[in-house]
A and B are shown apart, each in its own frame.
Chain A
Amino acid sequence: MSEAARMSVAQPAPLLSVRNLRTWFHTFGGVVKAVDGVSFDVAPGEILGLVGESGGGKSMVGFSIMGLIDPPGRIEAGEIVFEGEDLARLDEARMRRVRGKRVAMIFQDPMTALNPLYTIGNQLEEMLKLHTDLPSARRRERAIEMLREVGIPQPESRLDNYPHQFSGGMRQRVVIAISMIARPRLLIADEPTTALDVTIQAQLLRLMKHQVTQNAASLILITHDLAAVSQMADRIVVLYCGRIVEKGRAADVIERPRHHYTRGLLDSIPHHDKAQARLRQIPGSVPDIRKLPPGCAFAPRCPAAQDICRRVEPELVETATGQAAACHFPIEATR
Chain B
Amino acid sequence: MFGYLIKRLIQMIVVLWVVSVLVFVMMSFTGDPTYMMVPLDATEEQIAQARRLLGLDESHLVQYWRFLLNVLQGDFGRSFVFRQPALQLILERLPATLEIVFLAMVIALVVAIPLGVYAGANPGRPLSRAVMAGSLVGISLPGFWVGMVLIFVFAVRFQFFPSSGRGPTTELFGLRVSFTSWEGFRHLILPAITLSIGTLAILMRIIRAEMMEVMKQDYIKFARAKGAAQKGVLFKHGLKNALIPLVTVFGLMLGDLIAFATLTETIFAWPGIGKLLVDSIYRGDRPVIVVYLMFVAFMFVVVNFVVDVLYALIDPRIKIK
- Interface on A for B, CB 8 Å cutoff? 66, 68, 92, 96-101, 104-105, 107, 109, 112-117, 126-127, 130-131, 162, 164, 175, 178
Q: Is the CB of B227 within 8 A of A101?
A: yes
Are B227 and A96 in contact (CB-based, < 8 A)? Answer: yes
Given contact pairs A107-B225, A126-B228, enumerate 16 new A-B contacts (beta carbons under 8 Å): A66-B225, A68-B224, A96-B228, A99-B226, A99-B227, A105-B222, A107-B221, A107-B222, A112-B218, A116-B317, A117-B241, A117-B314, A117-B316, A130-B227, A162-B316, A164-B316
Assembly CA distance A99 to B232 (angstroms): 14
**How far apart are the CA atoms of A164 and B315 in the complex, in Å?**
11
Contacts of B229 in A (CB 8 A): 96
In this complex, the interface size class of chain B, counting residues with CB under 8 Å from chain A, is 20 to 34
The answer on a CB contact under 8 Å between A104 and B225 is yes
Selected from A66, A100, A107, the residue in CB contact (under 8 A) with B218 is A107
For B224, the closest partner residue in chain A by CB is: A68
CA A66 to CA B315, docked complex, whole Å? 30
Chain A residues, Cβ within 8 Å of B219 = 112-116
Q: Contacts A117-B240, A117-B241 given; indicate if A99 touches B225 (C-beta within 8 A).
A: yes
Which B residues are in CB contact (< 8 Å) with A131? 227
Q: Verify if B217 is at the interface (C-beta below 8 Å from A).
A: yes
Say whether A130 contacts B222, CB under 8 Å. Answer: no
Residues of B contacting A116 in the complex (Cβ-Cβ under 8 angstroms): 219, 241, 315-317
> Complex: how many Å from CA A126 to CA B218?
17
The residue of chain B having its C-beta at the shortest distance from the C-beta of A130 within the complex is B227
A-B CB contact pairs (8 Å), 13 listed: A96-B227, A96-B228, A99-B227, A100-B226, A100-B227, A101-B227, A104-B226, A107-B225, A113-B218, A114-B219, A115-B241, A130-B228, A164-B316
* B223 CB–A CB distance under 8 Å: yes
Q: How far apart sit A114 and B218, CA to CA, in the bound complex (Å)? A: 8
Question: Are B221 and A130 closer than 8 Å at their CB atoms?
Answer: no
**A98 — which chain B residues lie within 8 A by C-beta?**
227
In the assembled complex, the Cα of A109 lies from the Cα of B241 at a distance in Å of: 18
Tell me if B227 and A117 are in contact (CB < 8 A). Answer: no
Q: Give complex CA distance A117, B223 in Å.
A: 13
A114 with B240: in contact, given A97-B227, A100-B227, A130-B227 (CB under 8 Å)?
Answer: no
Identify the B interface with A (CB < 8 A): 217-219, 221-230, 237, 240-241, 314-317
A98 to chain B, nearest CB (A): 7
CA distance A53 to B7 in the complex (A): 55
Chain B nearest CB, measured from A118 CB (Å):
8
Q: Which residues of B contact A66 (CB under 8 A)?
A: 225
Closest chain B residue, CB of each to CB of A105: B225
Q: Are B218 and A109 in contact (CB under 8 A)?
A: yes
Closest beta carbon of chain A to B124's beta carbon, Å: 9
Distance in Å: Cβ of A23 to nearest Cβ of chain B: 16
Contact A127 B226 (CB under 8 A): yes
The answer for the CA separation of A104 and B224 in the assembled complex, in Å, is 10
Bound together, the chains give a CA A175 to CA B241 distance in angstroms of 19
For A96, A98, A107, A117, the residue with the greatest tally of chain B CB atoms inside 10 Å of its CB is: A117
Q: Which of B225, B314, B315 contacts A100 (CB 8 A)?
A: B225
B260, chain A: closest CB distance, angstroms: 33
Across the interface, which residues of B come within 8 angstroms of A178, CB to CB?
Answer: 226
Q: Give the chain B neighbours of A92 by CB distance below 8 A.
A: 230
Cα(A117)–Cα(B116), bound, Å:
21
In order of increasing CB-CB distance, the 7 nearest A-B pairs are: A100-B227, A99-B227, A112-B218, A100-B226, A115-B219, A162-B316, A105-B225
Question: A45 to chain B: closest CB distance in Å?
Answer: 22
* Chain B positions within 8 Å of A127 at CB level: 226-227
Q: For residue A112, which residue of chain B has the nearest CB?
A: B218
Closest partner residue, chain A, to B315 (CB atom): A117
Determine the chain A residues whose CB is within 8 A of the CB of B224 once the complex forms: 68, 99
Task: Give Cα distance in the complex from A116 to B244, angstroms.
Answer: 13
* Given A112-B219, A116-B219, A117-B316, CB of A68 within 8 Å of CB of B225: yes
Cross-chain contact B223 with A115 (CB below 8 angstroms): yes
Taken together as a complex, chains A and B put the C-alpha atoms of A296 and B25 apart, in Å, by 82
Residue of B nearest to A164 (CB): B317
A119-B316 Cα distance, complex, nearest whole Å? 9
Q: Which residues of A contact B225 (CB under 8 A)?
A: 66, 68, 99-100, 104-105, 107
The reply to whether B227 and A114 contact each other, CB–CB distance below 8 Å, is no
CA distance A66 to B314 in the complex (A): 31
B297 CB, min distance to chain A CBs, angstroms:
32
Residue of B nearest to A95 (CB): B227
Chain B residues whose C-beta falls within 8 Å of the C-beta of A113 in the assembled complex: 218-219, 222
- Closest-by-CB residue of A relative to B244 is A117
- Residues of A near B237 (CB, < 8 A) are 115
Q: Min CB distance, A185 to chain B, in Å?
A: 14
Q: Which residues of chain B have C-beta atoms less than 8 A from A101's C-beta?
A: 227
